[in-house]
Amino acid sequence: MQLNILKIGGNVLDKPEDLESFLNKFSSIDGPKILIHGGGKIATNIAKKLGVKTTMVEGRRITDEAMRDVVTMVYGGLVNKQIVAKLQSKNCNSIGLTGADAKVILASKRPVTTTDYGFVGDIETVNHVFIKTLLDQKITPVFAPLTFDMTGNMLNTNADTQAAAIAVAMANHFEVNLIYCFEKKGVLIDINNENSVIENLNQDLYKKLKTDGVINEGMIPKLDNAFNAIMSGVRQVIICDANNVIEVIKSKKGGTTITQN
Amino acid sequence: MQLNILKIGGNVLDKPEDLESFLNKFSSIDGPKILIHGGGKIATNIAKKLGVKTTMVEGRRITDEAMRDVVTMVYGGLVNKQIVAKLQSKNCNSIGLTGADAKVILASKRPVTTTDYGFVGDIETVNHVFIKTLLDQKITPVFAPLTFDMTGNMLNTNADTQAAAIAVAMANHFEVNLIYCFEKKGVLIDINNENSVIENLNQDLYKKLKTDGVINEGMIPKLDNAFNAIMSGVRQVIICDANNVIEVIKSKKGGTTITQN
């Protein structure tokens, strides 16, 4: 049986009308499905108002205790529950989850090396059995990018990585399609040309394009997650425009398909 | 089979050491259990920092859209997920829920009469079947005082009322003990005398004490909820000190027991 796992990021979350449009599309997808959302600018904005400073190192948020509380509130509360309430109104019975809920995603706090990322979680296990019990009840899990450790800490976690880890774990039960939705039509050969989408990207081509400096820096962590997923039992990984997600699922057209070879 | 449903309020939530102590006790309760938490001062404090004004009418919070977002963040995110993560560290496998999650508590937005309470929910249905599937998996639901309507709105809901509604619904499956934990040893005959606990309070005595002005005003909504629960199939309703909850459950000593007659 097929399972569609979709990840959306800040570009969709930050614009109410884009989120509404995406959730209409998401609700219309038949069969079991899972949504993972990122954070977006709202956490940064609320942190600022609360006097909590945002520090980024190489595009990643440093999560001290005050920032951990902000992301727990904003990702786990505001964004997650707003999405769940909206999905309910669209007849998509969903449940909002962080990793701590029902021990669904256990992580460990990232060890301090040259950088102390603070309360950031590296995923250890995904409780795919519990997730399957929800899907069997026709309930759609909606994940905030938060995990936990067994010492009582909530941990901030990269949503792309979390999506890949969930997809890999669910491959124990389903033929999983993992779809990363973002603001471009797919992975571009030329960042300035929206129509330069690479239709199929395999490991060899990815290595070559990285070496040649063609792949945009910001895309590398997402693509690393995508390749990890496809190498670990996920049937299909696609990177596409959030607006185009229905066509990608139904007619397998559009976006960049990640392939092993 | 017995089910213990405990409600904690701001007095426990606002002090980290009291919360820790309570959660240790809660974790040690054998058998199926449910926790409902209120909000506490933290929502008011965060609202203030975010420039969102708190307006209370007769002890109830007016929930405009900005305040609704604050309580969704704080109750549904920060407070709820912190409790869940802490319970996991104490080997109590819990799941944080709002009413919107898995459509577990459907409400309707309170109609505007002389007062417009804003995004406040009056509970309509509790999905006791879903809650039972969690309990059957030995998962402890932890409820934030939030519900939803089917038009996509999160709604602020009184935690005492929510606890009573959940208790009544779960009486379809269990012998339910509903325990309201607060900062006093029980319902007091003399508000200034901690040892003036009324051991058993029935409807007739309650009416008399209300008429005589003996019952503290702030206790009336809680007691109305307690009597609603005991009249609607809940086996036992007790109002007691959060510190004393284990003795109340194990040896049935302490607190005020609400009885029909």
What would the DSSP string read from start to end of A175-243? EEEEEEEESSSS-BSSTT-TT-B-SEE-HHHHHHHHHTT-S-GGGHHHHHHHHHHHHTT-SEEEEEEGG
* A69 vs B: CB within 8 A: yes
The percentage of chain B sitting over the pLDDT mark of 90, rounded to a whole number, equals 88
Q: What is the rounded average pLDDT for all residues in chain B?
A: 95
Mean pLDDT on A127-138: 98
Which residues share a beta bridge with A34? A5
Q: Which residue does chain A place closest to B66, by CA atoms? A: A78
Q: What CA–CA distance (Å, rounded) separates A196 from A59?
A: 25
Q: Provide, rounded to the nearest whole percent, the portion of chain A with pLDDT above 70.
A: 100
Q: Do B80 and A77 touch (CB under 8 A)?
A: yes
Query: Are the Cβ atoms of B50 and A50 closer than 8 angstroms?
Result: yes
Decide if B102 and A86 are in contact by the 8 Å CB cutoff. Answer: no
How many whole angstroms separate alpha carbon A251 and alpha carbon B84?
41
Q: Using one digit for the tens of pLDDT, what is the confidence trace for B75-93?
A: 999 999 999 999 999 999 9
B85·A148 Cβ contact <8 A = yes
Please check the confidence at residue A60 and state whether its pLDDT lies above 80.
no
Please determine, for residue B123, whether its predicted confidence score (pLDDT) is greater than 80.
yes
Q: Please state whether the predicted TM-score (pTM) of the whole model is above 0.95.
A: yes
| The predicted structure's pLDDT at residue B38 | 93
Confidence of residue B145 (pLDDT cuts 50, 70, 90): very high
Cβ separation of B154 and A81 shorter than 8 Å?
Answer: yes
Query: Is pLDDT above 80 for B171?
Result: yes
A58 band by pLDDT with thresholds 50, 70 and 90: confident
DSSP chain B: -EEEEEEE-HHHHT-HHHHHHHHHHHHT--S-EEEEE---HHHHHHHHHTTPPP-EETTEE-B-HHHHHHHHHIIIIIIHHHHHHHHHHTT--EEEE-TTGGG-EEEEEPPPSSS--BSBEEEEEE-HHHHHHHHHTT-EEEE-SEEE-TTS-EEE--HHHHHHHHHHHHTTTSEEEEEEEESSSS-BSSTT-TT-B-SEEEHHHHHHHHHTT-S-GGGHHHHHHHHHHHHTT-SEEEEEEGGGHHHHHHH--SSEEEE--
CB-closest option in B77, B89, B97 to A78: B77
CB contact under 8 A, B93 and A75: no
pLDDT for the residue numbered A253: 86
Q: B98 touching A, CB under 8 A?
A: yes
Question: Across the interface, which of B72, B95, B152 has its CB nearest the CB of A89?
Answer: B152
pLDDT of residue A252: 82
Determine the average pLDDT of the residues in B137-158. 97
Residues contacting A204, CB < 8 A, separation 6+: A261
Residues of A in contact with B103 (CB under 8 A): 88, 93
- Cα(A197)–Cα(A220) distance, integer angstroms: 16
Compare CB distances from B139 to A74, A82, A102 and report the shortest one's residue.
Answer: A102
**Over residues B69-74, mean pLDDT:** 97
Continuous segment of H or E residues that includes residue A251: helix A245-251
Percentage of the residues of chain A whose pLDDT score is greater than 90? 88
CA distance B256 to B250: 15
Does pLDDT of A96 surpass 80? yes
Q: Could you tell me the pLDDT band of residue B21, with boundaries at 50, 70 and 90?
A: very high
In chain A, the residue whose alpha carbon lies closest to the alpha carbon of B52 is A49
Chain B CA closest to residue A51: B49
Residue A202 clears pLDDT 80, i.e. is over it: yes
Per-residue pLDDT, A57 = 84
Task: Output the pLDDT for position B60.
Answer: 75
Q: Does B103 touch chain A (CB under 8 A)?
A: yes
- Mutation to test the B interface, candidates A70, A79, A95, A155, most B Cβ within 10 Å: A95
Distance (Å) from the C-alpha of residue B89 to the closest C-alpha of chain A? 5
Q: What is the pLDDT of residues B85-119, one digit of tens each?
A: 999 999 999 999 999 999 999 999 999 999 999 99
Whole-number pLDDT of residue A209: 94
Q: Which residues of A touch B137 (CB under 8 A)?
A: 102, 130, 133
- Closest residue in B to A45 (Cα) is B50
A136 three-state secondary structure: helix
Distance (Å, whole) CA A248 – CA A252: 5
Residue B85: which of A85, A96, A152 has the nearest Cβ? A152
The average pLDDT across A36-65 equals: 90
Residue B58 banded pLDDT, cuts 50, 70, 90: confident
A137 — pLDDT class (breaks 50, 70, 90): very high
Q: Is residue B40 predicted with pLDDT exceeding 80?
A: no
> Closest to A82 (Cβ–Cβ): which among B96, B102, B154?
B154
Give the mean model confidence (pLDDT) for residues A109-113: 94
Q: Determine the Cα–Cα distance for residues A126 and A145; give it in Å rounded to an integer.
A: 13
Contacts of B78 in chain A (CB under 8 A): 69, 72-73, 76-77
Q: What average pLDDT does the structure give for chain A?
A: 95
pLDDT, position B96:
98
Cβ contacts (< 8 Å) between B95 and chain A: which residues? 97, 101-102
State the complex-level ipTM.
0.96
Closest by Cβ to A77, choosing from B74, B84, B139 = B74
Question: Could you tell me if A46 lies within 8 Å of chain B, comparing CB atoms?
Answer: yes
pLDDT band for position A36 (cuts 50, 70, 90): very high
Interval A84-95 mean pLDDT? 98
